[in-house]
Structure 1
Amino acid sequence: MVDRLRRTGLEPTEIEVKAAVQALPKTIGETLSAFANGEGGTLLLGLDEEGFRPAANFDAERIRDALATWCNEKMWPPIRSTIEVVDYEGAQVVRLDVDASDPVDKPCFVLDRGEYNGSFIRVGDGDRRLTRYEVTQLLSNRDQPTHDQQVVPDATVDDLDPRLVDQVLRHAAERSARAFSGVDRVTALKRLGALKDLDGTPRPTLAGLLALGFYPQQFFPQLFASVVVLPTTEMGELGPEGERFLENVTVDGPIPVILQEVTAALRRNMSRAAIVRGLGREDRYDYPTEVIRELVTNALMHRDYSPESRGTQVQIELYPDRLVVKNEGGLFGGVTVDQLGAARIASKSRNATLAKLLGDVPLPDRTNETIAENRGSGLVAAVLALRRAGMSPPDFDAGPGRLTVTVPRTALLAPQTIEWIAGLGLGHLTDAQHLTLAIMRSSGRVSVGMLRAWGVQDRDAREAVRDLVTRGVAIRIGGKRYASYRLIDDVGDLPLPELHSAPTSPDTKVHQGIEADLDIIIQAIQAGHSTSRGLAAHLGMPYQTVLRRLRELEVRKLVEPTRPKHSSKQSYRLIGGDPA
């Protein structure tokens, strides 16, 4: 860690260094709060801030005890991490690894300054006081907000679209005949939370207008979605023709309309290729339509609708190398960034009424499907769709009062690769075979384990590679246990070579096994399985084996940890992006 500090000459966001020779720095509480309210971090006391050498006359025992007092008595909630005294270069350094607080315990604040004055967040190598809005958003995790249930006094039943209302009531009656069959429209809409009585008159709620209204922006002008298509990878840079935007549109109306028009605007600006699948063909874009729909739905459904945030819109930005979706509110409840898209989680929505209502609103182009299942599975479906397309999962950047989701454009099955596969003239290919060909093209080889990393079942993977070998497109290399496959030198033209298994020694077999494991883990990290236990569970490898392979990949500088060494939430990422 210190070597890294000396090489760069800078303190990264997750590390704070102080000499602390005479006493703890006055800002120690701010640093502890900032680490706990963010993603955690490491505090090193006893190192000079210039050069990062051991500080002279540093009293490690006295500073350790003073730090323990701060952690246990002056912070709320208390910070319970172990404080270490570490021997280093002939001196001693005090080390504290601060884990991120549980979401429902945030904000962590300096006790005598209170929640609104004593809560901080890490920005660069410094600490910034959280705004009043950010603190309020963190505190809202402890209760169920009801902003979406608020009555809109100036709106009337006539502001709801009868067509949407009919569709919703029909679906609700099919879902729960006891509650919705045989009752009048007003009563049914009240039961759905779309209407409430105000002074004896039924009025739309915010949720009702957002899901079923003709034009919710009549009452809330900024509750829309903006779509910006950029010519370069940086906001504000001009394109080759001097253009600032390739497209810049405001999309308003109710959520079903916003969802449809945002998807159409993005598809207009994405590359497209036709993929042969079974007996048919389908268009594939830079980003699967299902992914766009799920990400935008989540942003509209789970954003903050409190009065303080009604002046901001959901922002969608399409760059040449990434798709970005931003919304106000941050994460809600006990959900952490590590859980997003990883597995089904207990469904808890900031806007419970709106989420339930959207569960009855049909998709504009698929009347047999609704906008929101409301079962915590939307982001899971998006991640699975990305894996099927050979794409890495989204990056979730969550902070107090905000959430940014970034999907990189790089894909194994990019339109150019799809066109290459189509040019092979094979026809009748499965999704597993498309992914197999793409991995062989990008990585030089593929194995059943590497396909498993992308969510392909072992049986489907074996059928995929076996058929490609039979067609003369690929050859098998290595023995049965560690078999991998590569494209033949001139795909489609050369006959299939006769395969011979060369004799191998025990040491060679061990080496082959390790290399095969490393290939699999690299693909699994690329597919979004970033923690050691998550990798072990997904790949069916022993946990200790995964740890050893991760250490080897670190030595080879192919992966790096994303958190301090002793973090209980350690995860890993590839160095330099695509391992191919």
Structure 2
Amino acid sequence: MQFLPEELQNAIPRMRLIGADTQRYEVKTARKALPESIPETISAFANRDGGTIILGLEEKNNFSTVSDFDADRIHDALLRIGSDFTPPCRLEIERYPFEDGEIVVAVVEPAPLDQRPCFITRKGLRYGAYIRTGDGDKRLTDYEIDRLWEFHQHPAFDRQPVCEASMSDLDASILDAIVERNREITPRVFGKMDRNEILLRLGAIAPDSSGKFVPTLAGLLVAGTYPQQFFPRLNITFTVYPGVTKAQVDGIRYIDTQPVNGSIPEMMMSSLELLRKHMNKGALIQGALRRDVTDYPILACREAIINALQHRDYSPDGLGSQVQINLFADRLEILNPGGLYGAASFNSLPRGISATRNTRLSQLLEYTPYVEEDGTSGYVIENRGTGLQQIEQELKDALMPQADLKDYVSAFQITFFKRRLSEDERQEKSWINFEAALLAELKKRGSMSVAAIMESSGFTRNTVSARLRSLRERGVIEGIEKAKSPKQRYRLTGKDPN
């Protein structure tokens, strides 16, 4: 293996260990001719972050070399295949001796953003464009093709006038704050300009066909009293699940679910309130100091939520999809329609390179007032590309693992993993004798919910549910609400537990 580049020396043993291809590597047997699926893989790599194709290894035989592999023929075929794509793909092709044979390696570079999607010419755009998912290639949907086409010409969906709305559908105080902020920071441009002229130039309002001013989509989202009157799905769906999947637990499908409506600042504040309601609170002991913490850092959640609302897809095809906040027993997922846009790739995000498909909306959010939890006033976003860095720092300070980011082209998802209890918290919360501790608490409080019992005991929902079921069957406790009610609380029956 001394002839192989270092990345291949690491990749092949890793694939042998896991027994499969990876997101960045595709292995093909290719004895005498190129496999029919090679064009699909090239298209898939070109439409994402690039990748490497290794030919001459047999995946089903622990990635061993192929005895009758014709390296000359395969190499020549790869030299010709690049012209079969629109735009053409230029592959970096090398031959390497490997173990007791030879392999051919083709490196596929990502296609330029303004030329995607790269597709197999003979199949056409609709049937010949692919994307890499996991260790496989998936044909792009029409919606995903449209999202990639946005890179050719910057989308302007947030600038569109909402002709069904009127100026009375906007909060005048927010508009006034936006106007005054711009007069303050750019006095030479906006100092003596008329209020509506400023809002027109900022893209908050636009003339309709009759010349009357109406809100733009961006204006409605930042200052609308109820944008969902015109776009019912431009909201957030907030759901709390009892387990680690969306499957039912003890007959309960979810603990709480509700739509979150209003302008973007209103939806952000309401979502944070719901998260605070459903998150546990604990403490980290650092030296002589005790710091209160929640399952997920509030500031990190704020950045992730505003990112989802700011950068989501507002095209006509995206107006029927909402942002999702899903709180599971072990993680928090925030999902928005539309993947990463333009220069905002996974490679650029840690460096703070920001790109947005919704430029007018992003600009307006910079000027939209917002009151922080501690009462200090500021603006909804900074728009300096530091959101992910802020999230990373908040998670680091809370001694939590970094967030998991997934770009699906059609959607973007950020996942936070639940904070584990510190040793001090576990010792403080642990009920050595669950039954005795629970009965004492019920006698003192009168009734308790499952969430309250979890919080007090330190046990998981599944453990608490199993022990409650045993006590119910013995007649020691009973539910106050109807069976399977998400608001269920338990109380003592008065029966002797012994």
2:303 to 294, 297, 307: 294
1:397 shift after superposition: 0.9
Change (3 A) 1:272 1:60: same
> 1:82 is paired with a residue of what secondary structure?
strand
1:192 shift after superposition: 2.2
In 1: Cα distance, 2:56 partner to 2:421 partner: 54
Tell me the equivalent position of 2:332. Answer: 323
1:53 shift after superposition: 4.0
In 1: Cα distance, 2:342 partner to 2:245 partner: 33
Tell me the equivalent position of 1:83. Answer: 93
Tell me the equivalent position of 2:362. Answer: 355
1:297 shift after superposition: 0.6
1:381 to 371, 390, 402: 390
Q: Tell me, yes or no, if structure 1 residue 228 matches structure 2 residue 239.
A: yes
1:281 shift after superposition: 7.1
In 2: Cα distance, 1:422 partner to 1:294 partner: 32
Tell me the equivalent position of 2:399. Answer: 390
> 2:164 is paired with a residue of what secondary structure?
coil
Matched letter for residue 357 of structure 2: R
Q: Tell me, yes or no, if structure 1 residue 190 matches structure 2 residue 200.
A: yes
Q: CA-to-partner distance for each residue in 1:21-50, whole Å, 9 max, x for gaps?
A: 332122211111112223443322223453
Matched letter for residue 222 of structure 1: R
1:385 shift after superposition: 1.9
Q: Tell me, yes or no, if structure 1 residue 305 matches structure 2 residue 311.
A: no
Tell me the equivalent position of 2:262. Answer: 253
In 1: Cα distance, 2:35 partner to 2:396 partner: 47
1:324 shift after superposition: 1.2
In 2: Cα distance, 1:368 partner to 1:277 partner: 29
Say if 1:272 and 1:415, in contact at 8 Å, map to a contact too: no
1:317 shift after superposition: 1.2
In 1: Cα distance, 2:201 partner to 2:18 partner: 60
Tell me the equivalent position of 2:435. Answer: none
Say if 1:148 and 1:205, in contact at 8 Å, map to a contact too: yes
TM-score if structure 2 supplies the norm length?
0.76
Name the count of aligned residue pairs.
Answer: 415
Q: Tell me, yes or no, if structure 1 residue 210 matches structure 2 residue 221.
A: yes
Change (3 A) 1:275 1:14: closer
Q: CA-to-partner distance for each residue in 1:300-358, whole Å, 9 max, x for gaps?
A: 01111000110000111112222211111111112211222x2332x432111100101
Change (3 A) 1:88 1:278: closer
In 1: Cα distance, 2:324 partner to 2:233 partner: 11
Tell me the equivalent position of 2:76. Answer: 65
1:170 shift after superposition: 3.0
Tell me the equivalent position of 1:343. Answer: 351
Tell me the equivalent position of 2:136. Answer: 126
Change (3 A) 1:418 1:98: farther
> 1:141 is paired with a residue of what secondary structure?
coil
2:35 to 25, 28, 51: 25
In 2: Cα distance, 1:7 partner to 1:417 partner: 35
Matched letter for residue 344 of structure 1: G
Q: In terms of mean alpha carbon deviation, does 308-317 or 48-57 score higher? A: 48-57
In 2: Cα distance, 1:306 partner to 1:352 partner: 13
Write the mapping of 1:87-98 to structure 2, written as runs, cut at 5 A: 87-98=97-108
In 2: Cα distance, 1:94 partner to 1:326 partner: 39
Q: CA-to-partner distance for each residue in 1:389-415, whole Å, 9 max, x for gaps?
A: 2223222111322211112224xxx55
Change (3 A) 1:169 1:418: farther
Say if 1:148 and 1:305, in contact at 8 Å, map to a contact too: yes
1:102 shift after superposition: 4.8
- Say what the alpha-carbon RMSD is for the aligned residues: 2.8
Tell me the equivalent position of 1:172. Answer: 182
Write the mapping of 1:509-548 to structure 2, written as runs, cut at 5 A: none
Matched letter for residue 352 of structure 2: R
Tell me the equivalent position of 1:572. Answer: none
> 2:413 is paired with a residue of what secondary structure?
strand
1:247 shift after superposition: 1.6
In 1: Cα distance, 2:16 partner to 2:287 partner: 56
Matched letter for residue 367 of structure 2: D
Say if 2:19 and 2:59, in contact at 8 Å, map to a contact too: no
In 2: Cα distance, 1:307 partner to 1:208 partner: 17
In 2: Cα distance, 1:122 partner to 1:279 partner: 50
Say if 1:142 and 1:333, in contact at 8 Å, map to a contact too: no
Matched letter for residue 220 of structure 2: L
In 2: Cα distance, 1:109 partner to 1:209 partner: 38
1:243 to 247, 252, 257: 252
> 2:422 is paired with a residue of what secondary structure?
helix
TM-score if structure 1 supplies the norm length?
0.66
In 1: Cα distance, 2:258 partner to 2:143 partner: 28
Say if 1:257 and 1:364, in contact at 8 Å, map to a contact too: no
Q: CA-to-partner distance for each residue in 1:224-266, whole Å, 9 max, x for gaps?
A: 0111112211222x23x42111221210110010000001111
In 1: Cα distance, 2:376 partner to 2:181 partner: 10
In 1: Cα distance, 2:189 partner to 2:236 partner: 34
Tell me the equivalent position of 1:409. Answer: 418
Say if 2:95 and 2:104, in contact at 8 Å, map to a contact too: yes
Tell me the equivalent position of 1:272. Answer: 281
> 1:211 is paired with a residue of what secondary structure?
helix
> 1:142 is paired with a residue of what secondary structure?
coil
Say if 2:20 and 2:59, in contact at 8 Å, map to a contact too: no
Change (3 A) 1:373 1:5: closer
Matched letter for residue 58 of structure 1: F
Tell me the equivalent position of 1:141. Answer: 151
Matched letter for residue 39 of structure 2: G
1:68 shift after superposition: 1.7
Say if 2:79 and 2:91, in contact at 8 Å, map to a contact too: no
Unaligned runs of 5+ residues in structure 1 are 424-580
Say if 1:138 and 1:401, in contact at 8 Å, map to a contact too: no
Change (3 A) 1:207 1:421: farther
> 1:338 is paired with a residue of what secondary structure?
coil
> 1:359 is paired with a residue of what secondary structure?
helix
> 1:327 is paired with a residue of what secondary structure?
strand
